[in-house]
Chains A and B, each alone.
Chain A
């Protein structure tokens, strides 16, 4: 009764073929990641030390550490977050909780999608025009951060909106039915249950902001600075630009220096991503419905 017909045999063969095909595609995907990480560790791992991370570059950037660049990246990312997170979350709450589905919100939606598609070099030039010149911030951390903030705004808006949308409508209606206003409903029921997704989105934004080079190189990041930034109106060095500089612009840099910088940069991004994944898993375990 369960003897295999020739059709069964063929179906099984085809099914195995596709399974193996898809598996190989998946393996292909992780090969570049392994090669990149492996190369960076092999060639740059030797230079990583406490001194490398926490001292200034010396000898025309051919020796010494990367501290000003590391600190500068943290500055730029932090200020960018301060600008984009409140703005992005507010916009997402408006779009998802208040605005209906009409031509106005659809245009905004389209604008957000297009903003996400603008090449980073265009954002850089916009930043020069808007923040450096028009608002008169000069080339500064503030100008660089605001440029990055605008560039990553779509990430915050989209991820926040997705997590708001994941809160079942029935909860909102139950709350409205009790006489709660929209804001009371958002504050007491919607936001507390969307917060994990929102935070995940912010961390992803951090990891993206950390690695960007083009938007900051005209707006606030410096080739080399003999001092640390004192306020948001100062220029600063940044890891991503520093990597570009030591890899291509300065003669006589030892081989392991650029690889070391790249390793630190990628480690920062990976660290952020792992925190985000861990956080998501933790909160998913606490899922309330």
Chain B
């Protein structure tokens, strides 16, 4: 492993709230998100442990994507979006962070539709390391190969790293997006329905990759496919219409040990 230059010092913000347990990656309390006057998510409380895959399932409009956006402080892009409550990331309240750039650089995001930046394949993956100040070509080469390999894309693109990323097929672009997220060497990887534009075979390959990545990072997996949550997630939360109905160990939820009837109905496919 090369030193990929993660700037740990830059996250040294004054720890306002060190209330969380050491191996808790993320602690969400009383989180409410709204767009204008329309609430998207209200009163969410749960925590995500380090090195787990945390699944979030639920039908459309449940507030899953809004939740991910708030973790990355994407509310700063959208003046309409307000976030109340508290999110502790590594014990730091992210609402008070002055250096949101450092926060974002530690969180990799993959959205449903791939956004291949209008750069070459190589530059797509090398961009984040470059932003961190890595200039040496040989270091960048190693990172690019590592990330593309982990995203199960290397073999398909290794001969044309200098062609445009946006010319790849949809599924390839999504894997490029994943490689780009990995190039940030993130603490936390968030995937929002990543498999929508990806064929089933590739989806399975990426799922295998995620199981591997768990050793190095925490993963939050938002998915429409309940079976995908079952295959991957250690624990799963069920969101419905802006409410977090239930959080539980995935296997228990799927074997019927649910507290709320709505969870059972959704998992069994009675609605959604």
Q: Which residues of A contact B (CB under 8 A)?
A: 100, 170-171, 173-181, 184, 188-189, 192-193, 288-289
How far does the Cβ of A13 sit from chain B's closest Cβ, in whole Å?
Answer: 47
How far does the Cβ of A167 sit from chain B's closest Cβ, in whole Å?
Answer: 8
How far does the Cβ of B116 sit from chain A's closest Cβ, in whole Å?
Answer: 8
Q: Which residues of A contact B103 (CB under 8 A)?
A: 179
Q: Which residues of B contact A289 (CB under 8 A)?
A: 116, 118, 166
Output the nearest chain B residue to A169 by Cβ-Cβ distance. Answer: B77
Q: Which residues of A contact B250 (CB under 8 A)?
A: none
Is A188 within 8 A of B127, CB to CB?
yes
Return the 10 tightest CB-CB contacts between A and B, nearest first.
A179-B105, A288-B118, A179-B104, A174-B115, A179-B101, A178-B128, A289-B166, A170-B115, A177-B109, A289-B118
Q: Which of B115, B117, B119, B131 contacts A179 (CB 8 A)?
A: B131
Is B105 within 8 A of A176, CB to CB?
no
Pairs across A and B, CB under 8 Å, 25 listed:
A171-B118, A173-B74, A173-B77, A173-B115, A175-B117, A175-B127, A177-B104, A178-B104, A178-B127, A178-B128, A178-B131, A179-B104, A179-B128, A179-B184, A180-B127, A180-B131, A181-B101, A184-B131, A188-B127, A188-B130, A188-B131, A192-B118, A288-B119, A288-B164, A289-B116
| Distance, CA A176 to CA B101, complexed state (A) | 8
Given A288-B118, A289-B118 in contact, is the A178-B77 Cβ separation under 8 Å? no
Say if the beta carbon of B72 comes within 8 Å of chain A.
yes
| Distance, CA A177 to CA B78, complexed state (A) | 13
Instruction: Classify chain B's interface size.
Output: 20 to 34
Q: Which residues of A contact B118 (CB under 8 A)?
A: 171, 189, 192-193, 288-289
Q: Which residues of B contact A188 (CB under 8 A)?
A: 119, 127, 130-131
Say if the beta carbon of B175 comes within 8 Å of chain A.
no
Output the nearest chain B residue to A287 by Cβ-Cβ distance. Answer: B118
Is B102 within 8 A of A179, CB to CB?
yes
Output the nearest chain B residue to A182 by Cβ-Cβ distance. Answer: B101
* Majority-rule SS of B interface residues: helix
Q: Which residues of B contact A170 (CB under 8 A)?
A: 115
Q: Which residues of A contact B102 (CB under 8 A)?
A: 179
Output the nearest chain A residue to B132 by Cβ-Cβ distance. Answer: A179
Given contact pairs A176-B77, A179-B103, A288-B166, enumerate 20 new A-B contacts (beta carbons under 8 Å). Answer: A170-B115, A173-B74, A174-B115, A174-B180, A177-B72, A177-B104, A177-B107, A177-B109, A178-B131, A178-B184, A179-B105, A179-B106, A180-B131, A181-B101, A184-B131, A188-B131, A189-B118, A189-B119, A288-B118, A289-B118
Say if the beta carbon of B79 comes within 8 Å of chain A.
yes
How far does the Cβ of A210 sit from chain B's closest Cβ, in whole Å?
Answer: 33
Output the nearest chain B residue to A180 by Cβ-Cβ distance. Answer: B131
How far does the Cβ of A171 sit from chain B's closest Cβ, in whole Å?
Answer: 6
Taking each of A171, A178, A193, A288, which has the highest tally of chain B beta carbons within 10 Å of its own beta carbon?
A178
Q: Which residues of B contact A177 (CB under 8 A)?
A: 72, 74, 104, 107, 109
Is B74 within 8 A of A174, CB to CB?
no
